[in-house]
Structure 1
Amino acid sequence: MQAQTLDDYLKANHKRRAGPVAMIFVEDDVEVVTTLRHHLRIGFKTVLAFMPDQIALPEDLEHTVQRIRFDTAYDTVPSAVNAIATAMPGTWLYYCYNAEYLFFPFCETRTVGDLLAFHAEERRDAMLTYVIDLYADDLQAHPSAVSLDQAHLDRSGYYALARKRADTNWQPKERQLDFYGGLRWRFEDHVPAARRKIDRIALFRGKPGLVLRDDDTFSDPEYNTYACPWHNNLTAAVCSFRAAKALRRNPGSRQDIQTFKWTNSTPFEWHSQQLLDLGLMEPGQWF
């Protein structure tokens, strides 16, 4: 399929809103195909691949994903997300990057459509996801820190802090927290403070005027909450090699870090039950 610009896609598809829609932003050529296939497999009806022209896809993916010409070196992800959100009001949307994989409770037997249908019944228009860092166990064998077969994650070291409001003497925001952990926490000296959080509102409903900000929060405060006022809601996890890739790509951190493994590393089992057992996502009232 020939790549098109975002403007061309929006003009040609302004009446076609088959959701849920996944927006995959491709930053490099690492695990692009597995990322796209994973999100097709878990039930996204439309997958938009925002990627440079020079990255090739297998023929079957060229016919199953919508390829949009995009370069994260020059184009901004929030502007693209905001354009889609405005053009597709009421449609469930999701965004992530290559080498990131969405997991949610019971995703082995239920689709993302099932997940969002239940979430909507609870009068929720957005879902909190935790970005869980993945990394290869052996950086000599896997210099980029990416290995699906040897992927590890931290089984502990996650915590939350109250999110404060500057306009009310720094009082906590209602049902909003900043979450930390993983590689960004353990190697915080190499990570800018603004990039250390692991919370992302990756699943949300589009609506006109909705703005995704640079810190992965939205202009609508209710979108940024982890639960409704009445009870706990579903959460999901975006299992991601992105931080590990960045720490290995940066010359300073690459020299300082010989391994990402520590006493609380554990092999990633690529199964939602492991994430549930570790408390890295919640089923809420969904059983």
Structure 2
Amino acid sequence: MRYGSLDIFLSVATAALSQGPIAVIMAEDGVELERTISHHAGAGFRSILLLAHPDLDLSATAEAQVHRIDHDVFATSALVGAVNRLIPAVPGRWLYYCYNAEFLFHPFCETRNVAEMLAFHAEERREAVLSYVIDLYAGDLDRYPDAVSVDEAMLDRSGYYALGRPDPLNHNHPRERQLDFFGGLRWRFEEHVPADRRKIDRIALFRARQGLVLRPDHTFNDEEMNTYACPWHHNITTAVCSFRTAKALKTNPGSRHAIGSFRWRNSVPFEWTSQQLMDLGLMEPGQWF
């Protein structure tokens, strides 16, 4: 079904929000949008909300899989703002958010769906899942000038690192169990990326509740929800495999002519499996076996 605005959707679409987990996808353009929808439908989300420009074309098959909401996708913090509007409407529900050409992977996703993963995570008394945004890119930019190729996607197998996250309320001492993560294209081509957009961590999956606010840096106003693990052991982490940075670097006038290739000695083909991501240390199962 299609809704003329987020206000209209929230006023009438109670059934769409009655069961979780719920995925929110914002379409900045049509690149790999239908594959993004299909991927997350297959992952086990009970409802998929699509935020898109009214003029964006979508096939009937894809339209049937989503609740389409007309939205100003070019506004500042458009997705973050929409998520914050949704949070008080779905207390207790698990929410996930991403852009088009981004694909969520969780440990053992080939045999266990996202609802099963979140059920285990909730039993661990956790209300948020740390995700790493892993840059994907086409190996041949002559054939794929927008840097997007699902069939020939590549990723960096190394070059990731973490720094302590300073707490401005505590003399900038590192926050407990919080780190800022870096790597991928935003690290290798950092001269083309604003400093406040270089992190690759995102709390992409979380349980909504009244008073919770998603901040522009993809963290929450509840600091415990920004931690990578609980105090007693490691927890599940997930990966959002994303063409978004590669696409931006190759379409923005300030960077597209400066980049002839994204490939380097640590580029490897992406196998589209959770096992590869776990083997590379780009997500972990925690205590979930």
Fold shared per TM-score above 0.5: yes
**Unaligned stretches of 5+ residues in structure 2:** none
Post-superposition offset of 1:8: 1.1
What's the secondary structure of 1:252's corresponding residue? coil
| Counterpart for residue 126 of structure 2 | 124
* Cα distance between partner residues in 2 of 1:71 and 1:32: 17
| Counterpart for residue 203 of structure 2 | 201
Post-superposition offset of 1:59: 1.2
Aligned residue runs from structure 1 range 176-195, under 5 A? 176-195=178-197
Matched, 1:38 2:39: yes
Aligned residue runs from structure 1 range 1-287, under 5 A? 1-14=1-14, 16-74=17-75, 76-287=78-289
Post-superposition offset of 1:129: 0.2
Output the amino acid matched with 2:99: Y
Does the aligned pair in 1 maintain the 2:134–2:241 contact within 8 Å? yes
Post-superposition offset of 1:145: 0.1
Q: What's the CA shift string for 1:249-287, capped at 9, x where partnerless?
A: 111211111000000000000010000000000100001
Output the amino acid matched with 1:63: A
The count of aligned residue pairs is 287
What's the secondary structure of 2:255's corresponding residue? helix
Does the aligned pair in 2 maintain the 1:3–1:53 contact within 8 Å? no
Normalised to the residue count of structure 2, the TM-score between the two structures is 0.97
Larger CA deviation: 159-168 vs 60-69: 60-69
Post-superposition offset of 1:68: 0.6
Output the amino acid matched with 2:10: L
Percent identical residues? 60
* Cα distance between partner residues in 2 of 1:13 and 1:209: 22
* Cα distance between partner residues in 2 of 1:2 and 1:129: 30
Does the aligned pair in 2 maintain the 1:164–1:172 contact within 8 Å? yes
* Cα distance between partner residues in 2 of 1:87 and 1:3: 16
Does the aligned pair in 1 maintain the 2:37–2:65 contact within 8 Å? no
